[in-house]
Amino acid sequence: MKTRLYKPTDLQEVLQLFYENIHNVCVNDYTLEQLDAWAPSDPDIYRWEASLNKNHTLVVEKDGKIVGFGNVGETGYLDRLYVHKDYLHQGIATLITKQLEKYAKAKGIVYMNTAASITSRPFFERQGYLVLEEQTVERRGIRLRRYLMEKKIN
């Protein structure tokens, strides 16, 4: 596996990975209506491009295929962390998280935070993130539950 910075040419593969992850990995925690609102088949490409390019975004490749990606902003907000459904439980999310935390620490950030899904909450807890509060957010008119989590990075 190889970790590298995101390139604009990765966009379509990243969008497909995100869609497949949400619609396959989160099915036990969210309804189909919620999954479609969260990861629609017609994503806002401009919003994705802007976010992926603005933030420190990493991708993990295996055999030339993107199998995971994640990003962190200048404030220490871990905005995205997704692994291809066929590559779960292989340490990819942990690898990305550790590298994003290392980057944030080098920028002088003391606390990282994220909004974790029901599905990803246990992963973040294993990484040392603590739940600050349960939240309900709206995506395309549909309400979704998530958890605001935080970790002090050393």
Query: Can you give the residue ranges of every domain in the chain?
Result: 2-109
Strands 77-83 and 111-117: parallel
pLDDT tens figures, 74-95 = 999 999 999 999 999 999 999 9
C-alpha span between 154 and 101 (Å, rounded)? 9
Three-state DSSP at 30 gives coil
pTM: 0.94
The domain defined by 2-109 folds into Aminopeptidase (3.40.630)
Task: Calculate the alpha carbon distances from 134 to 13, 85, 144 in Å.
Answer: 31, 26, 11
Enumerate the H helices of 55-129 as residue ranges.
Answer: 92-106, 121-126
Length of the chain: 154
pLDDT tens figures, 133-150 = 999 999 989 999 999 999
